[in-house]
Amino acid sequence: MSIIVKICGLKRPEPLEAALAGGADMVGFVFFEKSPRHLELAEARQLSEQVRGRAEKVALVVNADDSRIASVIEALAPDWLQLHGAETPERVAQIRATFGLPILKALGVAEQADFLCAPDYEAVSDRLLFDAKPPKDSVLPGGNGLSFDWTLLRNHARLATKKNWMLSGGLDSENVGAAIRLTGAPGVDVSSGVEDAPGEKSAAKILAFIAAARAAA
C-alpha cells in the first residue's frame, strides 16, 4: 500500500529541504505562539516559496479566529488547514465553508470512548488525525512526544475501510513501521520524533523516518 507521510513543525530551510528531498507528501507549519515550533508569518512566506510544487503545505492552528486564519493563509498559501484545538464540529464546518480549504482535524485519543466523536468530525473534515491526548498540565495540544495505545485504532473497526485518517503521537523512525503494521494507518504524521530538541528538527531523523514509513508500507 502507499502511505501519506507528513513532517510537521518545520521552521528552518535545511530540515524543510530534507523533508522535501526525502519525499514527504505533506509538510506542516505551526502557527501557535505557545509552541516551540511556532512560525512567524514573515518566515512562513519564505518557506512557502521553498515548498512550491514539491509537497502539500499544511497550516496548523489552534482555536484560531477567522482573522488569524486569514493571515496565516495569506502568508503560507496552504493546501490544508490543520485544526489542532478544541474546535467543535460546527466550528470546523464554518472554517471549511469560509476558507474553502481541506480540513485536517486532530482528535486526541487516550481511550476507546474518545472515538465516539469521530463520526461528527468526519462529516465536516476531509481527513482526521488521531493523536495522543496531551497531559492535563500541558500547554501544547500536540507535539508532546507521547503515543497512545494503537490497538484502540485497530479495534475501531470502521476505520479499516477508510482512507481519510492519519496516525500521530510519539512516532519516530524506530516505531513507525510497527505502528503502520498494527493499525493499517493510511498516513503518519511526525513532529517531536524527528527533533534533537523541542522545535529543532534533524535532517537525518527526518530522512530516517520517511524511509522507515515507506519500507513499512
Q: What is the pLDDT of residues 37-69, one digit of tens each?
A: 999 999 999 999 999 999 999 999 999 999 999
Residue 114 annotated as catalytic: no
Complete DSSP assignment for 38-67: B--HHHHHHHHHHHTTTSEEEEEESS--HH
Which domain does 146 fall in, by range? 4-216
Number of domains, the chain: 1
Q: What is the pLDDT of residues 133-152, one digit of tens each?
A: 876 665 555 555 678 888 88
pLDDT greater than 90 at residue 34:
yes
| Catalytic-role residue among 8, 25, 79, 114 | 8
User: What CATH number corresponds to the domain at position 31?
Assistant: 3.20.20.70
Catalytic annotation, pick one of 114, 126, 131, 196: 131
- The reported pLDDT for the residue numbered 133 is 85
pTM assigned to the model:
0.92
Q: Is 117 considered catalytic here? A: no
Report d(CA 51, CA 58) in Å as an integer: 11
Torsion sign over Cα 210, 211, 216, 217: positive
In 3D, which of 66, 182, 205, 119 has the Cα closest to residue 190? Answer: 205
Q: Is the predicted pLDDT of residue 159 greater than 80, yes or no? A: no
C-alpha cell at 12: 528552518
